[in-house]
Amino acid sequence: MPLLYEVVTPEWVKHAVFYQIFPDRFAISSSLQKPHNLEPWDTTPTTYGYKGGDLLGVLERLDYIQGLGVTAVYFNPIFQSASNHRYHTHDYYQVDPLLGGNAAFDTLLAECKRRGLRVVLDGVFNHASRGFFQFNDILENGAASPWLDWFYVDDAGGVHPINAYDLQRAPGYKAWWGLHALPKLNTDNPQVREYLMQVGEHWIRKGIDGWRLDVANEITTPGFWQEFRQRIKALNPDAYIVAEIWEESPQWLQGDQFDAVMNYPLTEALISFVAGKRLRREFVENKGYRPVAGITGQQFAAKVDRLLQLYPWPIVLAQLNLLDSHDTARFISIADGDETSLRLATLLLFTLPGAPSIYYGDEIGMTGGGSDALARKTFPWNQPEAWNHELRDFHKQVIALRKTHPALRVGTFQNLYADTFGFAFARTLADQTFVIAVNVGHESATQRLPLTRLINTDTAPRVVFGAASRVQTDNSTITLDLPARSATVLNVSQR
């Protein structure tokens, strides 16, 4: 597909390490008064219950977050809502009172700016909620409401009064996935479109660094996302616009709409290759991706090559790469509790092109699968004995490796080797070249990597991360012996 626009993505994103926070479950501050009917923090969460996490709780944990090496935080929705996940927006201009309201957000944002920590918010613009004022007016006034055309009431064969609560009957209006609680906004209406544009602009003016756009591909109004990009970038050219689209997305990533998408196709490939036969099939069913129980290194290499060639390079470097999220089971649970799988996948996540994102708690081995609620457990701040401290140290080391070497962030990519259980590639920037080699098999393996495909061939490789039992070079080949289920990173740069 020929490009009609110059493709420019925010430079800071290409160097970022993201940390995704589900606000109700991350941290709770004792400085905020809360209603009494909250679930105890350390109990198993339920579908509808609130734990009471808040933004001042996040503020009080910024040292922890930055101690990992994180440089940007992506928050699941923070706006006023009658749901613990807050995808049912009541008011796009008000931070939820349980989170501390606008005052808590202002305090948190100011401190993040002081620390140089970027903040990306979740924009849920495809649908609102039954509590959204304009929709609530329809519930109160029926056919007399002046806000009828803010939604798709008549288009869905709606009758008055519409049915917002009886789940045994159709709602009488378009709703996301037919859910009565989520009436779809009519973005073909110029008033609705302008309202949402102004919401996007408002929070950029407040100082956020970007938007993650929920189910962005379900807004199909011609020109909507082009205008959104123009107006957001006019206020802050470095703002990050990343869409939740689970499929390959070349039509959305041409430089005129989004900077990137959540890179679930890569997530799918990483799960399939690294978790392999450990994959808990019941934890990946009925999601937007389709991991399978084991693909070969050759298949993984082909999937990576395809994804890297599908988009312009500035977009590749800005893709939000992830192993899991609030919408999936946690990777370690998908891999049947296998920590080695998580370590290998994390190393690949931080060395492949794109901006890596950690879902809160993955770094300490938090588990969760089988339901959304179980993937959104509370962070066990009061139970440090339950943390996997070695796994957290591993995350710190991998993050530090990426941050120390620019080639691992913005260097070119070369596929060097693939076999049934092995995969190796190089990242090169100027005179820096690093080789990353992985063996996911249960036996030690030898990989012979062609030096002729690397820019620098006159330097003995040095292991900078992981281990290899043998690293040998001749004029044309690096020979690696990798232990079972292990990985190594070699520096083959010119000295």
Single-letter amino acid code for the residue at 265: P
Give the Cα separation of 493 and 291 in Å (integer). 35
Report the candidate in 190, 356, 387, 340 with the shortest Cα–Cα distance to residue 267.
356
Give the Cα separation of 402 and 408 in Å (integer). 6
Q: Does domain 133-178 have CATH number 2.60.40?
A: no
DSSP codes, 165-193: S-TTS--SS-BGGG-TT-BBB-TTSHHHH
pLDDT tens, N- to C-terminus, the chain (495 residues): 556 668 999 999 999 999 999 999 999 999 999 999 999 999 999 999 999 999 999 999 999 999 999 999 999 999 999 999 999 999 999 999 999 999 999 999 999 999 999 999 999 999 999 999 999 999 999 989 999 999 999 755 556 778 999 999 999 999 999 999 999 999 999 999 999 999 999 999 999 999 999 999 999 999 999 999 999 999 999 999 999 999 999 999 999 999 999 999 999 999 999 999 999 999 999 999 999 998 999 999 999 999 999 999 999 999 999 999 999 999 999 999 999 999 999 999 999 999 999 999 999 999 999 889 999 999 999 999 999 999 999 999 999 999 999 999 999 999 999 999 999 999 999 989 999 999 999 999 999 999 776 655 566 889 999 988 889 888 788 999 999 999 999 999 865
Give the Cα separation of 105 and 56 in Å (integer). 8
Residues in CB range of 305: below 8 A, 6 or more apart = 415
Residue spans of alpha helices (H) in 207-356: 224-235, 264-270, 297-310, 313-316, 331-334, 339-351
Give the Cα separation of 330 and 358 in Å (integer). 11
Report the candidate in 293, 331, 323, 278 with the shortest Cα–Cα distance to residue 442.
278
Q: What is the DSSP letter of 386?
A: G
**What is the topology classification, in CATH, of domain 11-126+187-404?**
TIM Barrel (3.20.20)
Give the active site residues: 214, 244
Given a contact cutoff of 8 angstroms between Cβ atoms, the answer to whether 39 and 424 are in contact is: no
Q: What residues does 436 pair with on adjacent strands?
A: 425, 489
Question: Sign of dihedral through CA atoms 442, 443, 449, 454?
Answer: positive
Helix, strand, coil fractions of the chain, as percent rounded to 5: 35, 20, 45
What does residue 100 show for φ and ψ, rounded to 5 degrees? Answer: 110, 0
Residue 77, token pair as written in the block: 């929705």
Give the Cα separation of 384 and 367 in Å (integer). 15
Single-letter amino acid code for the residue at 380: P
Give the Cα separation of 53 and 37 in Å (integer). 13
Give the Cα separation of 46 and 53 in Å (integer). 15
Residues in CB range of 485: below 8 A, 6 or more apart = 340, 344, 439, 440, 441, 442
Q: What is the DSSP letter of 262?
A: B
Residues in CB range of 342: below 8 A, 6 or more apart = 323, 331, 332, 335, 362, 365, 391
H-run or E-run covering 212: strand 210-213
Q: What is the DSSP letter of 128?
A: -
Indicate the CATH number for domain 411-491: 2.60.40.1180
The pLDDT of residue 469 is 87
H-run or E-run covering 355: strand 355-359
Residue with tokens 């190089």: 426
Give the Cα separation of 425 and 415 in Å (integer). 4
Give residue limits of the domains in the chain.
Answer: 11-126+187-404, 133-178, 411-491
The pLDDT of residue 458 is 62
